[in-house]
Amino acid sequence: MKTACPKCQANDKTKEENIGQKTKCWRCGEWYTIAEGEGTLLSQQKQKDRGQTTVIRGRVQMSIGIVVGILLLFSSVGGEILSVYTEYTITHNQELLISLGHDPANFQQSPFYWIGRLTFHTFGLVAILVYVISVALKRLKVVKVGFLLCLIYFMTQAYGNITNLSQEEQVRGLTFGAWVAITILWLPRYAVELGLLIQGWLGVRKRMSNSGHWFLRSQGRKYAGEVKGDKCKICDKKISESEKAYIEDGELLCTECERKTAKSQDNQKQ
């Protein structure tokens, strides 16, 4: 006699005395009770609950990543750009420097210095924008690139803040303890910012990884995360709301194409 896994519909031969016992599907790894015809998936309700929980957690993490990205866009990057503009304006106001008792010659910088600083913070602005937009659109590959760019920007900024010493500190030098204190002062801030920012990436990955389940298309978002389109990715057949479908890597497979694919895989294994 044959038994079938209700999740992936994989057939397997079994003996009559094994009816009622638990077995593990050789294809998808789910445990179900052996019965004639179709098995009963023991973990079906748990799987649905887990799918719902995964989707909710993914949405929360994505929201955290987007909100933190927007806040950093204004507070960190926007503040740095404003700081560069303010510093440039003050150092080029000779009357103000003279009235404050400073020699304007001591504050003159090369144009490339200002261009370099402004370009660096513009890079950070673009990196965070790419990351936030890609998280909102759930583009996992772009999210990875965006977070890598943000990581480069913030780590470079942290290195600059740690090694940026005053003229007096450069002359007399710093002890090992002073370097440790400066490092401890700056690194936790960037660790917290990046830790919150990466939640967006983790959320997108969680939403996109919840695949490999049978479901009614009307329940697809509830149990299987985001689904691309409403057509079978192989035969391009439109799947109705009440029709059973299979989700694979965020795309749909109709019953017939999934059965053909599974049969082809079975033949290859044999």
| E strands, the chain, in order | 2-4, 11-13, 22-24, 31-33, 37-38, 40-41, 213-216, 244-248, 251-254
Do residues 217 and 194 share a domain?
no
Do residues 163 and 221 share a domain?
no
Residue 133: the pLDDT is: 95
Do residues 147 and 59 share a domain?
yes
- Please indicate whether residue 196 or residue 43 has the higher confidence score (pLDDT): 196
CB 242 within 8 A of CB 235: no
Residue 250: the pLDDT is: 59
Do residues 117 and 201 share a domain?
yes
Residue 164: the pLDDT is: 74
Residue 141: the pLDDT is: 87
Euclidean distance between CA atoms 150 and 128, whole angstroms: 6
Residue 129: the pLDDT is: 95
Contacts of 212 (CB under 8 A, 6+ apart): 28, 247, 248
Do residues 36 and 55 share a domain?
no
- Taking phi over 0 as left and psi of -120 to 50 as alpha, with beta for the rest, 9 belongs to left
Q: Which amino acid is located at 140 in the chain?
A: L
Q: Write the pLDDT tens digit of every residue in 84-118.
A: 888 888 887 777 777 877 777 777 778 888 888 89
Do residues 149 and 168 share a domain?
yes
Q: Write the pLDDT tens digit of every residue in 2-48.
A: 455 555 555 554 444 444 456 666 556 666 565 544 433 333 444 55
User: In Å, how far are 9, 239, 256 from 263, measured between CA atoms?
Assistant: 10, 21, 11
Mean pLDDT over all residues of the chain?
A: 72
Residue 145: the pLDDT is: 94
Euclidean distance between CA atoms 234 and 113, whole angstroms: 56
Do residues 101 and 192 share a domain?
yes
Which among 20-24, 157-161, 177-181, 213-217 has the top mean pLDDT? Answer: 157-161
Euclidean distance between CA atoms 36 and 19, whole angstroms: 7
* Mean of pLDDT values over 170-198: 81
For the chain, the domain total comes to 3
Q: What percent of the chain has pLDDT over 90?
A: 20
Q: Write the pLDDT tens digit of every residue in 105-156.
A: 777 778 888 888 899 999 999 999 999 999 998 888 899 999 999 999 999 9
Euclidean distance between CA atoms 6 and 18, whole angstroms: 17
Do residues 205 and 241 share a domain?
no
Q: Among 41-45, 161-165, 174-178, 240-244, where is mean pLDDT lowest?
A: 41-45
Both tokens assigned to 169: 């500190």
Do residues 5 and 94 share a domain?
no
Range of the domain at 13: 1-42
Do residues 12 and 134 share a domain?
no
